[in-house]
Structure 1
Amino acid sequence: MTNWTPILVAGGGALFLGLAGGLLTRIGPWYRNLRKPSFQPPDWLFGPAWTIILGLAAWSAVIAWEAAAGDTGARRAVVILFLVNAVCHFLWSPLFFKLRRPDWALAEVVFLWASLVALVVGLWPISRFAAMLILPYLAWVSFAAVLNRAIVRLNGPFDARAVRG
């Protein structure tokens, strides 16, 4: 018999992060007027990419949870690793889009990236497959960090006027 609780929790978490990120990402005049590097993907690509990445992360969470069955410490580690990552994931969009501070988002993306490295390293002894499912997320955030840095370099400095403007 399948225990649906981990599937519902992981899927619900991924859905929440995807919806929150989408709602907090306003592609308006401020964003359109930013200078972007030549390697900037088209805006339409971000939604499908995040959907796939968050789906893989949810799948990873379920696999890791099941692989850690009977080991309370390992299960606690799985929950903590994914919760830390969820917080780091959630913070980036409001910093970049709501507060209009790509520089702060660039500082925050370091923590998001570190949370993903921690997930891969922490999940590896529990389930190598679960850890490998995080690798596309790590690759995408690595690319996003380079993109974020390029936007800061092309448009900075940013200041308190960014929030109002």
Structure 2
Amino acid sequence: MAVFSKRQQALGLFFWLCVCFLVALLGAMASIQAKSFYAQLTQPEWAPPAWLFGPVWTFLYVLIAFSAWLVWCHGDRSARVALSLFLIQLALNGLWSWLFFAWHLGAYAFVNILFLWGMIVATLIAFWRVSPLASFLLLPYLLWVSFAAALNFSIWQLNLSILS
């Protein structure tokens, strides 16, 4: 396990927060017209209100950044492998907004979210080997993406003419 000073640890946490929120920002760029677009889509009865997504994702990005930071603090080879998986799933996370909101590709967004789900599971397992707490912090993210996958599929199926 690497030994970092308090300053290095604080900078590391800041770095992982920046990485996660950079992906959130890139996703938000794809979602500029999301409010009006999302409002015109037929929703399943169990869909949450649109205003809920922002606070939930903000909370999740903080959790996953903290999780990545905990693994980064170990600084060994297993941490580097785990963080590589983390970065792949984060890229898939950011891509989803572009597929769904910017490009209106419901099927591709659904396939993407399935890959994202699998990469979160792989990351969760890799994080467990380095830091069980870091793995535990990914569980709400995995649960939300599971819900989001079901929602993506349902909205896509209800709006095939729009999300082709």
TM-score > 0.5, shorter chain as reference: yes
For structure 1, list consecutive stretches of 5 or more residues without a partner in the other structure: none
Q: Match for residue 15 of structure 1?
A: 21
Q: Match for residue 54 of structure 2?
A: 47
1:135 aligns with 2:139: yes
**C-alpha deviations, 1:80-118, integer Å up to 9, x for none?**
012101111111000001101112100110111011101
1:153 to partner: Cα distance: 1.4
Which AA in structure 2 matches 1:20? L
Q: Match for residue 5 of structure 1?
A: 11
Q: Match for residue 42 of structure 2?
A: 35
Q: 2:128 aligned to 112, 124, 127, which one?
A: 124
1:151 to partner: Cα distance: 0.7
**Contact 1:103 1:158 survives alignment (8 Å):** no
Q: Which moved more, 1:73-82 or 1:54-63?
A: 73-82
1:149 to partner: Cα distance: 0.6
Q: Please list every run of at least 4 consecutive aligned residues from structure 1 whose deviation after the TM superposition is greater than 4 angstroms.
A: none
1:28 to partner: Cα distance: 4.7
C-alpha distance in 1 between matches for 2:162 and 2:49: 24
Q: Match for residue 155 of structure 1?
A: 159
Q: Match for residue 80 of structure 2?
A: 76
1:78 to partner: Cα distance: 2.7
1:79 to partner: Cα distance: 2.3
1:76 to partner: Cα distance: 1.6
Q: Aligned Cα RMSD in Å?
A: 1.6
**Contact 1:40 1:147 survives alignment (8 Å):** yes
C-alpha distance in 1 between matches for 2:27 and 2:34: 12
C-alpha distance in 2 between matches for 1:144 and 1:14: 18
TM-score (norm 1): 0.88
TM-score (norm 2): 0.89
Which AA in structure 1 matches 2:92? C
Q: How many residues were matched structurally?
A: 157
1:23 to partner: Cα distance: 2.3
1:27 to partner: Cα distance: 2.4
1:120 to partner: Cα distance: 0.9
For structure 2, list consecutive stretches of 5 or more residues without a partner in the other structure: none
C-alpha distance in 1 between matches for 2:11 and 2:36: 42
Which AA in structure 2 matches 1:5? L
